Amino acid sequence: MAIGEAHLSKSFSPSRPSLSYGTGRLEGRAETLLGDFAASSRPAFAPRALLATKLAPYPSRLTRRSFVDAARASARRLQTTSIDCLQAHWSPAYFPWQENALLDGLADAAEAGLCRCVGVSNYGPVALRRVYARFARQGIALASNQVQFSLLKRSAERTGLLEVAAELGVTMIGYSPLALGLLSGAYSRERQPPGLRGLLFSTQADAALDRLLALLQAIASERRVPLAAVAVNWTRSRDLIPILGVRSPVQARDALACLSFQLSAGEIAELDAASLRCREVTDNIFETK
């Protein structure tokens, strides 16, 4: 099981409620759920999964030791002595004074054996080269970089980030491969999601998105898989590991269906062309250059 699939387990546990990241009074709750799941699923789970988590540069974390302490607490909640991949939750683009402490903390955690590899999130091509070189000077390999990526968010291609990552040997992880549900097949202009996602859909919905969704459905019908699985499979065609948030067994099965087939070159080309005609979703404010 790849890193992205471990994150899928993080979002869903059949016997317990799904709780996003677990902030505030629920601090660490997601890790506790995942740790319980991994422990109850051994030995079948352990050889097939990588447990990954992230450290956020909260305002209270100002020293490298504070990040090491956070990594140690994460390992306890995950019920492991060494986390497979420990990542920076986002770049400190808007809090640059924290970056040294965050990166040094990740390096210290790796050297202490609290994790097997380190990763970052939302780093652009310039920043990725810089942080890669920084870790390399310490003898630490940068394993991953997690960014927003989908048929409706392809900036990592335009900026050259995917090429830089391939050159450096950094695995790319793509979050929001369904663009917050826009590519799930569950919604249309006539059947929009409630709340803030409905507002997002209304700003994105147009004839171009209709055509993209119709193409996804045509491919899904031909291959006899859920529409969402086609959108996620396209992300995998770019050599990214997708991360999906799921809230039900049906959503989990739909997501995992992306592993049952491989899009043809012709299908990928059609989806490429259709997606380029669509309006892109909003950038993550924490992405760096």
Task: Look at residue 20 in the predicted model and tell me its pLDDT.
Answer: 45
Residue among 11, 284, 264, 271 nearest 161 (CA): 284
CA–CA dist 287, 126 (Å, integer)? 11
Q: Which residue ranges in the chain fall short of pLDDT 50?
A: 1-20
Contact criterion met (CB below 8 Å) for 217 and 227:
yes
Domains and CATH numbers, the chain: 3-276 (3.20.20.100)
Exposure on the CB side of residue 115, measured as CA atoms within 13 A:
32
pTM of the model: 0.86
The pLDDT of residue 163 is 97
Cα separation of the two ends of the chain = 31
Question: Residue 228's pLDDT is what?
Answer: 94
- What is the set of active-site residues? 21
Tell me the three-class secondary structure of 146-174, residue by residue. Answer: EEECECCECHHHHCCHHHHHHHHCCEEEE
Spatial contact of 109 and 138, defined as CB atoms under 8 Å apart = no
User: What pLDDT does 248 receive?
Assistant: 84
Tokens of residue 68, six digits: 């090491």
Rounded CA-CA distance 143/141 in Å is: 6
Alpha-carbon torsion angle 243, 257, 117, 79, nearest 10: 90
Say if strands 171-175 and 52-55 run parallel, antiparallel, or are unpaired: unpaired
pLDDT of residue 221: 97
Residues in contact with 32: Cβ distance below 8 Å, sequence separation at least 6, in sequence order: 22, 77
To the nearest 10°, report the CA torsion of 189, 193, 196, 202: 0
Give the pLDDT confidence score for residue 8 in this predicted structure: 33
